[in-house]
Amino acid sequence: MHRIGVLGSGSWASAIVKMLSENTSEINWWIRSESAVKHLHRYGHNPKYLQGVKYDVSKLNISSNIEEIANNSDVLIFAIPSAFVVDTFDEFPLPDISTKKIVTSIKGIIPEYNAIPVRYIHKTFGVPYENMAMISGPCHAEEVALERLSYLTIAGPDEVLTTQIADILACRYIKTTTTDDLFGTELSAVLKNIYSLASGIYAGLGYGDNFQAVLISNCIQEAENLIDAINPIHRDVLTSAYLGDLLVTAYSKFSRNRNFGFMVGKGYSVKTAQMEMDMVAEGYYAVKSIIEINKKFQVDIPIVHAVYHVLYERISPVVEMNILADKLS
């Protein structure tokens, strides 16, 4: 396999490095914090994320120099939260990566451009779509750290690239599949975070499992309608990259978006919930961008609108979500 570099230091970046370490003898890992780099070299643990994971540092070239990591890698895996991508690369400019293979594991939308990650990378860095792939779930970093059986879908137009990435990530506790639906998988990963917010808000309001089942069945239908309007190709949204990823994000105790929504449903303000979590809920940024994107396509997306009204227009969750509940079937 080509030389692989991972950009990012958070939970998902840490989980990806753990997976890669099972099959790869040398991994380039960019972490912006020099103190975190030193801690990893000395103790073999990420000081802030997935602290229980012990890394074999002999396999890792860890550096806070992004240019060094990029230049030493043929394949770069982007694992930076979407809300921070633009600021990160403004502060730490990348060298020319237009001829490299790029894999994104960014689970959100680039809010400054209302763009899915692959489109942002294509436009910003000149990387052809055929040189890109995307890592999708259903998979939480915390369960990777615990080595619980998990599944990944690698999406991209180049079957050789997606197969290579799938093979290098597969291990005893990770099973992988591939798909050529790059744009649909990216959009689904954005939308499932919004729907997880809705699930959390309803849970915070006291709605039960029976209602949640109806909500999620409506969510996957709404997602399919919007994705098909934006990228009209044949796809089966009942597979794990779509429905499976939605289910784990909407129900799991590890889901940041569900936990964020739960606090809002319990009466926390958006700002207070953000401060309490001290983590990024990608759906918060995604819902505003999806509203903007849908102005062109005019798809009926009442669940997205309801979440937007609660988070951005400060409409009472009780009022807004009761109105939405009457629309579901």
Buried/exposed code over 212-244 (b: 16+ C-beta within 10 A; e: otherwise): beebbebbbebbbebbbebbeeebebeebbbbb
Of 18, 107, 192, 288, which is the active-site residue? 192
Tell me the C-alpha distance between 314 and 62, whole Å: 43
- 130 phi and psi angles, rounded to 5 deg: -70, -10
CA 243/CA 220 separation, integer angstroms: 7
**151 DSSP β-pair partners:** 175
Q: Round to whole Å and give the CA distance between 258 and 252.
A: 8
| 3-state secondary structure at position 115 | strand
Smallest CA-to-CA distance from 186 within 75, 290, 310 is with: 290
What amino acid occupies position 155? A
| Largest separation between any pair of C-alpha atoms in the chain | 57
Distance between CA atoms of 183 and 129, rounded to whole angstroms? 10
In sequence order, the β-bridge partners of residue 264 are none
Residues 6+ apart with CB under 8 A from 68: none
Please choose, from the candidates 5, 198, 204, the residue with its C-alpha nearest in 3D space to the C-alpha of residue 101: 5
Catalytic residue check, 192: yes
Sheet containing strand 174-179, edge to edge, reads 60-63, 27-30, 4-7, 75-78, 101-104, 132-136, 150-155, 174-179
Active site residues: 192
